[in-house]
Structure 1
């Protein structure tokens, strides 16, 4: 899911801000770290990596922290690493072009609803397509922090999923992966008035 979030972020920045991807940190105008907080080690590694990126970045380049650790730690990230330009939570991906222009912005609302947002398209692979069918999770597993970083579970309307699948297949995708914390729950809750479809029917139509 983090990989798909990254693709969404890249797509929005490319289409709305004209950004292109690069592997060279020293020439980048914007450095983004999309984080995970399921385990403790990646959280500790975040601040170590931030220090390295801060030393290597060119003058004026922005650094943004995104993802689950961003949702979890929020303003603490900027307190510990004041050079960070903004913090964007896992449930606020669609706001990337907004926070980009707000210094020290912290957008981490886990109740923000992106289920009806139509992201621009970007794929790291021409043959594999990742498609979100839901966001968030309603479970309360003692070992998992996801509900506290991605909010309650909401299904994405089937018309958006089908439209995205058709586009990716038309562009050459051979495999489609459906993403959700618990895909079997698909259809239990939509944020608006949408056709009530369960996971089995979603698979049939896809």
Structure 2
């Protein structure tokens, strides 16, 4: 379920301390019901590329959209190493307060190019950059109304000038109509499978 930006901005996440120049582009409640200590399971689910041979999301249409995006990126040079983290932009780890920098960093994503920045008991942040945008994926673990917990995914973006702003505007309908619905279905399916395995293990 899509949430208002305030679902991210109104909570006292540590990311507010050093990423105020990023805007919350998309906020989604994740179908991942669990207990207060289950964020680590969700983080490892995101970091694993085992499901479906590492395909980032299910469905023919989203996979086609990703394929088109990577082809365009290769053609236009959007994803060259010189446009990424540590080259075009500095890593967010350089901005971390000391306690986060010395704490758990968390796993990198293998199926898609995101590098972990930090992980706490109820937050995880990973980042990626290309010629169009510096992006951070924030996963918060929040309480439900019924006493349980679930994940909230926030995509934070810092577009690279006019090109980045036009890029984010251009892909907006594809994100909402093709990518996010399939992504959330896959997250929910893998979460249920993982919860069942943990319950029997």
Task: Return the TM-score normalized by structure 1.
Answer: 0.25
1 or 2, which has the higher strand percentage?
A: 2
Report the structure number with the largest CA radius of gyration.
1
The TM-score, its normalising length taken from structure 2, stands at: 0.26
Higher RCO (C-alpha 8 Å, min separation 6): 2
